[in-house]
Amino acid sequence: MSIFFYYIFVSLFLTFVTSYFFAPQLIKILSLPLSKFIKTEDYDFIFTNIFEVFTTYVTLAFYGTIFLNFPLFLYFLYLFVRPGLFKYEKNLLTFMYKIFILFVLFSVFFTYYLILPFMLSFLLDFDLITNSSFIVLRMETRIYDYVIFFCNLTFLYCFFIFQIPTLFIIFVYFKQPNILFFYKKRRVFIVTSFIIGCLFSSPDLISLFIVSFPFIFFFECVVFICILKNNYENNLYLNIVESCLNGKRQVC
């Protein structure tokens, strides 16, 4: 057990230090979706106190450390409990770990290339400098606010929103509740998906469908696969029963 803590500590330390020293490059990557909406060439981030840049680098390094080391922590936890598991339990945990990593990677690209651009498109659908007869508005984004906004949005979609399909797979595997429950509650889940889309997307119709559609798609895929699986098991059971009955008849 102590060797696991040693590896985790070393991984956390190295990831934090590396993320801190490469924080300017990471901020440059994170700001690419925002730069598409900038209409002036001299626009850049600002900071309002002498500690803000340092705080931003530390915060970004902290988020990066947690994000990159959480899968490693789950893997070490799996290695710790593995000796006391049955073979089918090992296979289940391995499968769920792969599904978790797959959804995390998918949610990162989905958030970076779809969710964030659409949110910025709605929120920044105006000039950076707005002149009116009453007031002059100029957009000056604080670097700390943008980094926090991006990290919170990514964590929300990676570890909460897009892990809902993983829960469905777990429920279906343990058959609690059974597939009939999911089939009867399809309308409720579709409405719930749109409610989630309203809460965690910008208030426009395209963003709503972009957020809601993956939940509905994964839900329908899980239900469809489970129906096929149940039909296959039922047909297999009927074939076995029929074979047994035919065997008894031949003996008689």
Number of H helices, E strands in the chain: 11, 2
Which of the four pLDDT bands, split at 50, 70 and 90, describes residue 57?
very high
The pLDDT of residue 110: 85
* pLDDT exceeds 50 at position 178: yes
Q: Is the peptide bond before 214 cis (omega within 30 degrees of 0)?
A: no
- Taking residue 16's Cβ as centre, other Cβ atoms within 10 Å add up to 18
| CA proximity to 159, closest of 30, 77, 33, 70 | 70
* pLDDT exceeds 80 at position 239: no
Instruction: Report the pLDDT averaged over residues 60-74.
Output: 91
pLDDT digits (tens, 9 = 90+) for 100-142: 888 888 888 888 888 888 888 777 765 555 555 666 666 778 8
Report which of residues 188 and 55 the model is more confident about: 55
The pLDDT of residue 46: 82
For residue 129, give the 3-state DSSP assignment: strand
**Coarse DSSP helix, strand, coil percentages of the chain, rounded to the nearest 5 percent:** 80, 5, 15
Contact 131, 170 (CB under 8 A): no
Instruction: Report the pLDDT averaged over residues 144-166.
Output: 83
Contact 213, 128 (CB under 8 A): no
The pLDDT of residue 134: 63
- Work out the burial of residue 180: count CB atoms within 10 Å of its CB; fewer than 13 is exposed, 13-18 middle, 19 or more buried: exposed
Sign of the torsion angle spanned by Cα atoms 172, 182, 237, 235: negative
